[in-house]
Amino acid sequence: MRLGGHLALFVMLASAVGAYASCTSANASSEAGLNADQLVTIALAANPSVRATKAQWDAAQHQILQNYVPADPVFTYTNVESSAHFNAAQHAHNITENFQFPGKAFLQADEAKRTAEIARFAFEASLRDTRAAVETAYYQVLLDYALISVNAENIDNLRQVLAVTKTAYAGGQHTQADVINAQIGLAQAELQQRQYETNRLNDIATLNQVLFRNPDSPLNLDHTIRLKRLTFPLDDAVNMATRERQEVLEAALSEKNANTAVQLAKMEYVPDYTLSGEFDYILQPGAQPLPTVTQAYTFGIGFNVPIFFWYHQREDVKSAEYSLQAARYSLESIRLQTQTVVTQLYRSAQFAYEQAQLYSASLIPLARQDFKVSLVAYQSGQVDFLTLSAALQASYGTRASYIQNANQFLAGEVALEQAIGAPLPK
């Protein structure tokens, strides 16, 4: 399960560090225990992946302004016609500066801005995925606790069945086989309970891992399973995903960068310039152009000539155009994939919710009533052990199915929010 959310970037990281201490102390002593949002806040405060993507975003932002300024000038000092005793005829001081054709720098800065935006979306995706990992681990722990509770009730029912089979066997109403089968069922349920307890401990260790804590660190959790129907239409979810999902936005910016790359490739046909200036200080009379001239100034301008354009510039333009096509196709593919995934997850989550509600409101009470009736009927000899066993299994199975569907709904809700890339509409 994965979960996404268009989170407040600066507020989230600034508050996470401060909230870490308060959540681990104040919330740890709270009777309600930590819920999913509080656990996410704790995880974001210590997650190195989140910090890494934030640093990458910061680095990308500092690569924008440098595109507006030209390259550093080159200063050259020349000692001309120096003798063995360094008695030079002339000292030359030269400065050379290279300039791009006007307009290139602005296009390159636009590319850098979009690259920084892509880094920001990667940071948001890291926040989203971290939240998904925490909630996935948290809901798995809730499932473990629920299964333990359901199996504990099943053990109590099996003990009742064992007691009535012993009584019926002692009264000669049923055979000893019923007692043996009841003992086997009870032993298997008790063994299953140990398995569920082991799963719970392992899943708590997994939750501690995503919180960047020691595996056996104690956690006071809110164990309440809350299910709320998805009330927003499917079309709203699909439209929201195409606007908010980080991967879609990244692909759109990549397409714009590819379009800018085409423009820059075409501008390779226009010349870049080189300006130079030189000051010569003439030291020996023989090196002077005129007897009274001891200083001279020289200025120059140069530009590149694309005489091999059919091998260089033209190929760069063709390559950039194909890269633009690839970026457009990738954007269309990601959009369609997002729409499909959102549609599938929405329908599956809604169906899981409806199933969970059916089990909770109807099937579980009926199955419990059937078990109680069958238990009384067995004691009076009206039904056999197989009927009683089937009623017991139905009672346990309906409660386990409710937990399974509740978990599928929560998993679908998490995955749907991840696919949309923003919090679900309320």
Whole-number Cα distances in Å, 366 to 362, 376, 392: 6, 16, 12
Q: What pLDDT, on the 0 to 100 scale, is given for residue 263?
A: 92
Query: pLDDT 10s digit of each residue in the chain, 426 long?
Result: 333 333 333 333 333 333 333 333 333 334 578 998 899 998 988 888 888 999 999 999 999 998 998 889 999 988 877 555 567 778 889 999 999 888 999 999 999 999 999 999 999 999 999 999 999 999 999 999 999 999 999 999 999 999 999 998 888 888 889 999 999 999 999 999 999 999 999 999 999 999 988 998 898 998 888 898 999 999 999 999 999 999 999 999 999 999 999 999 999 888 889 999 998 888 777 677 777 788 888 999 999 888 888 888 899 999 999 999 999 999 999 999 999 999 999 999 999 999 999 999 999 999 999 999 999 999 888 889 999 999 999 999 999 999 999 999 999 999 999 999 888 877
Of 329, 331, 328, 333, give the one whose Cα is nearest residue 259: 328
Q: What pLDDT, on the 0 to 100 scale, is given for residue 424?
A: 84
Contacts of 265 (CB under 8 A, 6+ apart): 313, 316, 317, 319, 320
Q: What pLDDT, on the 0 to 100 scale, is given for residue 388?
A: 92
Give the amino acid at 306.
Answer: P
Rounded CA-CA distance 89/83 in Å is 8
Rounded CA-CA distance 378/60 in Å is 75
CB 417 within 8 A of CB 5: yes
Contacts of 108 (CB under 8 A, 6+ apart): 67, 264
Q: What is the DSSP letter of 303?
A: E
Rounded CA-CA distance 351/409 in Å is 8
Q: What pLDDT, on the 0 to 100 scale, is given for residue 305?
A: 87
Rounded CA-CA distance 151/194 in Å is 10
pTM: 0.77
DSSP strand E in 238-376: where? 273-282, 295-303
In the chain, domain spans: 9-71+105-269+308-420
Instruction: Report whether CATH 1.20.1600.10 matches the domain 9-71+105-269+308-420.
Output: yes
Instruction: Give the count of beta carbons closer than 10 Å to the beta carbon of residue 339.
Output: 18
The sign one gets for the Cα dihedral 189, 191, 193, 196 is: negative
Whole-number Cα distances in Å, 38 to 26, 51, 71, 314: 11, 19, 50, 57
CA 309 centroid distance within chain: 44
Q: What pLDDT, on the 0 to 100 scale, is given for residue 140?
A: 93
Q: What pLDDT, on the 0 to 100 scale, is given for residue 293?
A: 80
Of 66, 205, 209, give the one whose Cα is nearest residue 133: 209
* Ordered strands of the 295-303 beta sheet: 74-80, 90-99, 273-282, 295-303
CA 130 centroid distance within chain: 6
> Strands 295-303 and 90-99, how do they pair?
unpaired
Rounded CA-CA distance 248/238 in Å is 12
Q: Of all helices (H) and strands (E), which one includes residue 41?
A: helix 36-46
What is the per-residue burial (b if ≥16 Cβ within 10 Å, else e) of 259-273? ebbbebbebbeeeee
Tokens of 319: 């390559």
CA 216 centroid distance within chain: 26
Q: What pLDDT, on the 0 to 100 scale, is given for residue 22?
A: 38
The sign one gets for the Cα dihedral 203, 207, 212, 216 is: negative
CA 174 centroid distance within chain: 60
